[in-house]
Amino acid sequence: MPKTVRAAAVQIAPDLTSRAGTVERVLNAIAEAADKGAELIVFPETFVPWYPYFSFVLPPVQQGPEHLRLYEEAVTVPSVETRAIADVARKRNVVIVLGVNERDRGSLYNTQLIFDADGSLKLKRRKITPTYHERMIWGQGDGAGLKVVDTAVGRVGALACWEHYNPLARYTLMAQHEEIHASHFPGSLVGPIFGEQIEVTMRHHALESACFVVNATGWLSEEQIASIHPDPALQKGLRDGCMTCIITPEGRHVVPPLTSGEGILIGDLDMRLITKRKRMMDSVGHYARPELLHLVHDTRPARALEQVGLSGDFSDAEQDKPFEEAQDA
Protein backbone atom coordinates (compact mmCIF):
# COMPACT_ATOMS: atom_id res chain seq x y z
CA MET A 1 0.00 0.00 0.00
CA PRO A 2 1.42 3.44 -0.92
CA LYS A 3 2.04 5.80 2.00
CA THR A 4 0.23 8.69 0.33
CA VAL A 5 -2.42 8.74 -2.39
CA ARG A 6 -3.52 11.90 -4.18
CA ALA A 7 -7.27 11.68 -4.74
CA ALA A 8 -9.63 13.79 -6.85
CA ALA A 9 -13.39 14.13 -6.46
CA VAL A 10 -15.09 15.66 -9.50
CA GLN A 11 -18.18 17.88 -9.32
CA ILE A 12 -19.16 18.88 -12.84
CA ALA A 13 -22.31 19.01 -14.98
CA PRO A 14 -23.08 16.30 -17.54
CA ASP A 15 -24.10 17.01 -21.10
CA LEU A 16 -27.85 16.41 -20.93
CA THR A 17 -28.07 16.09 -24.71
CA SER A 18 -25.61 13.31 -25.53
CA ARG A 19 -23.52 10.49 -24.13
CA ALA A 20 -20.59 11.59 -26.27
CA GLY A 21 -20.69 15.08 -24.82
CA THR A 22 -20.61 13.78 -21.25
CA VAL A 23 -17.78 11.35 -22.02
CA GLU A 24 -15.79 14.28 -23.42
CA ARG A 25 -16.30 16.13 -20.13
CA VAL A 26 -15.13 13.05 -18.24
CA LEU A 27 -11.96 12.80 -20.32
CA ASN A 28 -11.25 16.51 -19.85
CA ALA A 29 -11.70 16.23 -16.08
CA ILE A 30 -9.40 13.21 -15.94
CA ALA A 31 -6.72 15.17 -17.79
CA GLU A 32 -7.10 18.15 -15.46
CA ALA A 33 -6.97 16.02 -12.31
CA ALA A 34 -4.06 13.93 -13.57
CA ASP A 35 -2.12 17.09 -14.41
CA LYS A 36 -2.47 17.99 -10.73
CA GLY A 37 -1.01 14.65 -9.71
CA ALA A 38 -4.21 12.75 -8.95
CA GLU A 39 -3.82 8.97 -8.70
CA LEU A 40 -7.51 8.26 -7.98
CA ILE A 41 -10.39 10.13 -9.66
CA VAL A 42 -14.04 9.69 -8.63
CA PHE A 43 -17.03 10.92 -10.66
CA PRO A 44 -20.72 11.42 -9.66
CA GLU A 45 -23.53 8.87 -9.71
CA THR A 46 -24.63 7.60 -13.17
CA PHE A 47 -22.74 10.54 -14.64
CA VAL A 48 -22.63 9.01 -18.13
CA PRO A 49 -24.76 9.96 -19.90
CA TRP A 50 -26.57 11.74 -17.01
CA TYR A 51 -28.51 11.05 -13.84
CA PRO A 52 -32.26 10.67 -14.59
CA TYR A 53 -33.29 13.91 -12.89
CA PHE A 54 -36.52 13.86 -14.88
CA SER A 55 -37.77 10.93 -12.79
CA PHE A 56 -37.80 13.11 -9.66
CA VAL A 57 -40.06 15.83 -11.07
CA LEU A 58 -42.15 14.17 -13.80
CA PRO A 59 -45.14 11.90 -13.09
CA PRO A 60 -44.80 8.37 -14.50
CA VAL A 61 -47.24 9.01 -17.34
CA GLN A 62 -44.93 11.74 -18.70
CA GLN A 63 -41.61 9.94 -18.26
CA GLY A 64 -41.76 7.71 -21.34
CA PRO A 65 -39.92 9.92 -23.87
CA GLU A 66 -37.09 10.83 -21.47
CA HIS A 67 -36.77 7.25 -20.23
CA LEU A 68 -36.49 5.99 -23.81
CA ARG A 69 -33.92 8.68 -24.60
CA LEU A 70 -31.90 7.49 -21.61
CA TYR A 71 -32.01 3.95 -23.04
CA GLU A 72 -30.61 5.23 -26.33
CA GLU A 73 -27.78 7.16 -24.67
CA ALA A 74 -26.95 4.61 -21.95
CA VAL A 75 -23.64 2.74 -21.80
CA THR A 76 -23.07 -0.92 -22.55
CA VAL A 77 -20.14 -2.68 -20.90
CA PRO A 78 -17.81 -3.15 -22.71
CA SER A 79 -18.21 -0.41 -25.31
CA VAL A 80 -16.39 2.36 -27.13
CA GLU A 81 -16.98 4.57 -24.09
CA THR A 82 -15.58 2.14 -21.52
CA ARG A 83 -12.57 1.46 -23.72
CA ALA A 84 -11.92 5.21 -23.94
CA ILE A 85 -11.93 5.48 -20.15
CA ALA A 86 -9.70 2.40 -19.83
CA ASP A 87 -7.23 3.86 -22.33
CA VAL A 88 -6.90 7.15 -20.48
CA ALA A 89 -6.59 5.35 -17.13
CA ARG A 90 -3.63 3.42 -18.54
CA LYS A 91 -2.03 6.40 -20.28
CA ARG A 92 -2.32 8.68 -17.25
CA ASN A 93 -1.67 5.88 -14.72
CA VAL A 94 -4.76 6.70 -12.66
CA VAL A 95 -7.52 4.71 -10.97
CA ILE A 96 -10.97 5.89 -12.09
CA VAL A 97 -14.36 5.30 -10.46
CA LEU A 98 -17.17 6.23 -12.84
CA GLY A 99 -20.94 6.03 -12.46
CA VAL A 100 -22.90 5.09 -15.57
CA ASN A 101 -26.38 4.20 -16.69
CA GLU A 102 -25.66 0.69 -17.94
CA ARG A 103 -27.92 -0.83 -20.58
CA ASP A 104 -28.22 -4.60 -20.56
CA ARG A 105 -30.64 -5.29 -23.40
CA GLY A 106 -34.09 -4.34 -22.10
CA SER A 107 -33.04 -2.99 -18.70
CA LEU A 108 -31.04 -0.09 -17.29
CA TYR A 109 -28.89 -0.27 -14.16
CA ASN A 110 -27.18 2.21 -11.87
CA THR A 111 -23.65 0.90 -12.32
CA GLN A 112 -20.26 1.74 -10.83
CA LEU A 113 -17.11 0.98 -12.80
CA ILE A 114 -13.63 0.85 -11.26
CA PHE A 115 -10.74 1.05 -13.73
CA ASP A 116 -7.25 0.31 -12.42
CA ALA A 117 -4.19 2.34 -13.41
CA ASP A 118 -3.27 -0.29 -16.00
CA GLY A 119 -6.59 0.22 -17.78
CA SER A 120 -8.19 -3.01 -16.58
CA LEU A 121 -11.82 -2.98 -15.44
CA LYS A 122 -11.52 -4.25 -11.87
CA LEU A 123 -15.18 -4.03 -10.93
CA LYS A 124 -18.59 -3.56 -12.50
CA ARG A 125 -21.28 -3.40 -9.85
CA ARG A 126 -24.95 -2.45 -9.88
CA LYS A 127 -26.79 -0.54 -7.16
CA ILE A 128 -28.58 -3.23 -5.21
CA THR A 129 -31.80 -1.27 -4.69
CA PRO A 130 -32.71 1.88 -6.63
CA THR A 131 -34.12 4.59 -4.38
CA TYR A 132 -37.70 5.85 -4.42
CA HIS A 133 -38.33 7.42 -7.87
CA GLU A 134 -35.34 5.52 -9.33
CA ARG A 135 -37.19 2.20 -9.14
CA MET A 136 -39.10 3.10 -12.28
CA ILE A 137 -35.81 3.67 -14.11
CA TRP A 138 -33.33 0.97 -13.05
CA GLY A 139 -33.29 -2.71 -12.27
CA GLN A 140 -31.77 -4.18 -9.12
CA GLY A 141 -28.19 -5.30 -8.63
CA ASP A 142 -26.99 -8.36 -6.73
CA GLY A 143 -24.48 -9.43 -4.11
CA ALA A 144 -21.80 -10.27 -6.67
CA GLY A 145 -20.96 -6.58 -6.96
CA LEU A 146 -20.43 -6.02 -3.24
CA LYS A 147 -16.71 -6.47 -3.58
CA VAL A 148 -13.52 -4.66 -2.60
CA VAL A 149 -10.81 -4.76 -5.26
CA ASP A 150 -7.05 -4.35 -5.17
CA THR A 151 -5.86 -1.38 -7.23
CA ALA A 152 -2.73 0.69 -7.68
CA VAL A 153 -3.90 2.99 -4.85
CA GLY A 154 -4.98 0.28 -2.43
CA ARG A 155 -8.12 -1.70 -1.67
CA VAL A 156 -11.10 0.20 -3.09
CA GLY A 157 -14.79 -0.38 -2.42
CA ALA A 158 -17.76 1.52 -3.82
CA LEU A 159 -21.41 2.22 -3.07
CA ALA A 160 -23.91 4.61 -4.63
CA CYS A 161 -26.08 7.15 -2.87
CA TRP A 162 -28.57 5.66 -0.41
CA GLU A 163 -26.85 2.29 -0.41
CA HIS A 164 -24.95 3.98 2.41
CA TYR A 165 -28.16 3.76 4.44
CA ASN A 166 -27.98 -0.02 4.16
CA PRO A 167 -25.62 -0.88 7.04
CA LEU A 168 -25.20 -4.48 5.89
CA ALA A 169 -24.04 -3.39 2.45
CA ARG A 170 -21.50 -1.11 4.07
CA TYR A 171 -20.38 -3.82 6.48
CA THR A 172 -19.81 -6.20 3.56
CA LEU A 173 -17.17 -3.82 2.22
CA MET A 174 -15.78 -3.08 5.66
CA ALA A 175 -15.29 -6.79 6.30
CA GLN A 176 -13.24 -6.97 3.10
CA HIS A 177 -10.92 -4.33 4.56
CA GLU A 178 -11.48 -1.47 2.17
CA GLU A 179 -8.88 1.27 2.48
CA ILE A 180 -10.50 3.82 0.19
CA HIS A 181 -14.25 4.04 -0.22
CA ALA A 182 -15.40 5.62 -3.49
CA SER A 183 -18.93 6.97 -3.33
CA HIS A 184 -21.19 9.22 -5.31
CA PHE A 185 -24.56 10.92 -5.30
CA PRO A 186 -26.46 12.73 -8.08
CA GLY A 187 -26.11 16.24 -6.63
CA SER A 188 -28.46 19.09 -7.61
CA LEU A 189 -31.32 17.20 -6.02
CA VAL A 190 -33.78 17.54 -3.11
CA GLY A 191 -32.32 20.73 -1.61
CA PRO A 192 -29.80 21.81 1.07
CA ILE A 193 -30.82 19.08 3.51
CA PHE A 194 -29.54 16.43 1.10
CA GLY A 195 -26.02 17.86 1.18
CA GLU A 196 -26.11 17.95 4.98
CA GLN A 197 -27.20 14.32 5.12
CA ILE A 198 -24.48 13.27 2.68
CA GLU A 199 -21.79 14.85 4.83
CA VAL A 200 -23.00 13.06 7.97
CA THR A 201 -23.17 9.75 6.11
CA MET A 202 -19.72 10.03 4.55
CA ARG A 203 -18.04 11.04 7.79
CA HIS A 204 -19.75 8.25 9.67
CA HIS A 205 -18.69 5.58 7.17
CA ALA A 206 -15.09 6.82 7.28
CA LEU A 207 -15.10 6.56 11.07
CA GLU A 208 -16.81 3.19 11.24
CA SER A 209 -14.81 1.58 8.44
CA ALA A 210 -11.53 3.34 9.34
CA CYS A 211 -11.03 4.14 5.66
CA PHE A 212 -10.79 7.20 3.47
CA VAL A 213 -13.95 8.29 1.67
CA VAL A 214 -13.82 10.07 -1.69
CA ASN A 215 -17.30 11.26 -2.61
CA ALA A 216 -18.44 13.05 -5.77
CA THR A 217 -21.78 14.70 -6.45
CA GLY A 218 -23.00 16.16 -9.74
CA TRP A 219 -24.03 19.69 -10.65
CA LEU A 220 -26.69 21.25 -12.87
CA SER A 221 -26.63 24.76 -14.31
CA GLU A 222 -29.72 26.94 -14.17
CA GLU A 223 -30.22 26.40 -17.91
CA GLN A 224 -30.11 22.63 -17.44
CA ILE A 225 -32.60 22.79 -14.57
CA ALA A 226 -35.00 24.79 -16.75
CA SER A 227 -34.63 22.24 -19.54
CA ILE A 228 -35.68 19.40 -17.21
CA HIS A 229 -38.86 21.12 -16.01
CA PRO A 230 -40.32 24.61 -16.65
CA ASP A 231 -42.18 24.88 -13.30
CA PRO A 232 -40.20 27.05 -10.82
CA ALA A 233 -41.79 25.22 -7.89
CA LEU A 234 -40.51 21.86 -9.11
CA GLN A 235 -37.16 23.33 -10.09
CA LYS A 236 -36.45 23.81 -6.38
CA GLY A 237 -36.09 20.03 -6.17
CA LEU A 238 -33.21 20.18 -8.67
CA ARG A 239 -30.97 22.53 -6.71
CA ASP A 240 -28.40 22.14 -3.93
CA GLY A 241 -27.87 18.67 -2.44
CA CYS A 242 -24.15 18.77 -3.31
CA MET A 243 -21.39 17.54 -1.01
CA THR A 244 -18.26 16.60 -2.92
CA CYS A 245 -15.75 15.75 -0.21
CA ILE A 246 -12.69 13.76 0.83
CA ILE A 247 -12.79 12.36 4.38
CA THR A 248 -10.09 10.81 6.57
CA PRO A 249 -10.51 7.66 8.71
CA GLU A 250 -10.86 10.05 11.65
CA GLY A 251 -13.93 11.64 10.07
CA ARG A 252 -12.29 14.90 9.07
CA HIS A 253 -12.33 16.72 5.75
CA VAL A 254 -8.97 16.53 3.98
CA VAL A 255 -9.87 19.75 2.15
CA PRO A 256 -12.99 21.95 2.43
CA PRO A 257 -15.96 20.32 0.65
CA LEU A 258 -17.45 21.59 -2.58
CA THR A 259 -21.15 22.33 -2.16
CA SER A 260 -21.95 24.43 -5.23
CA GLY A 261 -20.63 25.05 -8.71
CA GLU A 262 -18.24 22.98 -10.77
CA GLY A 263 -14.80 22.01 -9.62
CA ILE A 264 -12.36 19.25 -8.74
CA LEU A 265 -11.28 18.61 -5.16
CA ILE A 266 -7.71 17.40 -4.76
CA GLY A 267 -6.55 15.87 -1.50
CA ASP A 268 -3.61 13.81 -0.26
CA LEU A 269 -4.54 10.70 1.70
CA ASP A 270 -2.05 9.77 4.42
CA MET A 271 -2.63 6.02 4.42
CA ARG A 272 -0.99 5.66 7.84
CA LEU A 273 -4.18 7.11 9.34
CA ILE A 274 -5.96 3.83 8.60
CA THR A 275 -3.85 1.91 11.12
CA LYS A 276 -3.98 4.82 13.56
CA ARG A 277 -7.78 4.63 13.54
CA LYS A 278 -8.01 0.83 13.55
CA ARG A 279 -5.63 0.58 16.49
CA MET A 280 -8.41 2.21 18.49
CA MET A 281 -11.45 0.70 16.79
CA ASP A 282 -11.38 -2.05 14.17
CA SER A 283 -15.05 -2.82 13.64
CA VAL A 284 -14.33 -6.02 11.70
CA GLY A 285 -11.34 -7.07 13.81
CA HIS A 286 -10.58 -6.60 17.49
CA TYR A 287 -13.78 -4.60 18.07
CA ALA A 288 -15.99 -7.23 16.41
CA ARG A 289 -17.82 -10.15 18.05
CA PRO A 290 -18.33 -12.58 15.14
CA GLU A 291 -19.40 -15.40 17.47
CA LEU A 292 -22.37 -13.22 18.45
CA LEU A 293 -22.99 -11.22 15.26
CA HIS A 294 -21.85 -11.96 11.74
CA LEU A 295 -23.03 -11.20 8.22
CA VAL A 296 -23.93 -13.73 5.52
CA HIS A 297 -23.17 -12.40 2.04
CA ASP A 298 -24.58 -14.17 -1.01
CA THR A 299 -22.01 -13.54 -3.76
CA ARG A 300 -23.87 -15.42 -6.49
CA PRO A 301 -24.84 -13.30 -9.51
CA ALA A 302 -28.59 -13.08 -10.05
CA ARG A 303 -29.71 -15.13 -13.05
CA ALA A 304 -33.02 -15.00 -14.88
CA LEU A 305 -32.42 -18.47 -16.33
CA GLU A 306 -30.58 -21.49 -14.98
CA GLN A 307 -30.39 -24.41 -17.41
CA VAL A 308 -29.91 -27.88 -15.96
CA GLY A 309 -29.84 -31.34 -17.49
CA LEU A 310 -27.96 -32.94 -20.36
CA SER A 311 -25.29 -30.85 -22.00
CA GLY A 312 -25.88 -32.32 -25.47
CA ASP A 313 -22.16 -32.88 -25.95
CA PHE A 314 -22.31 -36.57 -26.92
CA SER A 315 -20.67 -38.77 -29.50
CA ASP A 316 -22.75 -39.88 -32.50
CA ALA A 317 -23.39 -43.24 -30.87
CA GLU A 318 -24.59 -41.64 -27.64
CA GLN A 319 -26.89 -39.30 -29.53
CA ASP A 320 -28.56 -42.33 -31.16
CA LYS A 321 -29.49 -43.77 -27.75
CA PRO A 322 -33.06 -43.51 -26.58
CA PHE A 323 -33.67 -40.73 -24.01
CA GLU A 324 -34.08 -43.22 -21.17
CA GLU A 325 -30.74 -44.88 -21.92
CA ALA A 326 -28.99 -41.51 -22.06
CA GLN A 327 -30.44 -40.62 -18.65
CA ASP A 328 -29.22 -43.92 -17.18
CA ALA A 329 -25.75 -43.27 -18.55
Question: Is 122 an active-site residue?
Answer: no
> Which position among 102, 124, 127, 245 bears the catalytic label?
127
Tally Cβ neighbours within 10 Å of residue 59. 7
Q: 206 by DSSP, 3-state: which?
A: helix
- Alpha-carbon separation of residue 250 from 212, 218, 255, 275 (angstroms): 9, 25, 14, 11
> Which position among 81, 161, 163, 178 bears the catalytic label?
161
Question: How far is Cα 274 from Cα 270, in angstroms, rounded to an integer?
Answer: 8
How, if at all, do strands 40-42 and 4-11 pair?
A: parallel
Question: Is 45 an active-site residue?
Answer: yes
Whether residue 189 contacts residue 241, with contact meaning beta carbons closer than 8 Å, is answered with yes
Nearest CA to 108 among 133, 132, 140, 83?
A: 140
- Alpha-carbon separation of residue 49 from 23, 68, 115, 157, 314 (angstroms): 7, 13, 18, 23, 47
Question: How far is Cα 260 from Cα 20, in angstroms, rounded to an integer?
Answer: 25
- Alpha-carbon separation of residue 88 from 10, 19, 93, 96, 301 (angstroms): 16, 17, 8, 9, 29
Burial label, 19 (beta-carbon count in 10 A; 0-12, 13-18, 19+): buried
For 164-172, the CB contacts below 8 A with 24+ separation are 164/201, 164/202, 164/205, 165/201, 166/128, 166/129, 168/295, 169/128, 170/205, 170/208, 170/209, 171/283, 171/284, 171/295, 172/143, 172/146, 172/295, 172/297
* Packed helices 192-209 and 167-174: angle between N→C axes, nearest 10 degrees: 40
Supply the residues annotated as catalytic: 45, 127, 161
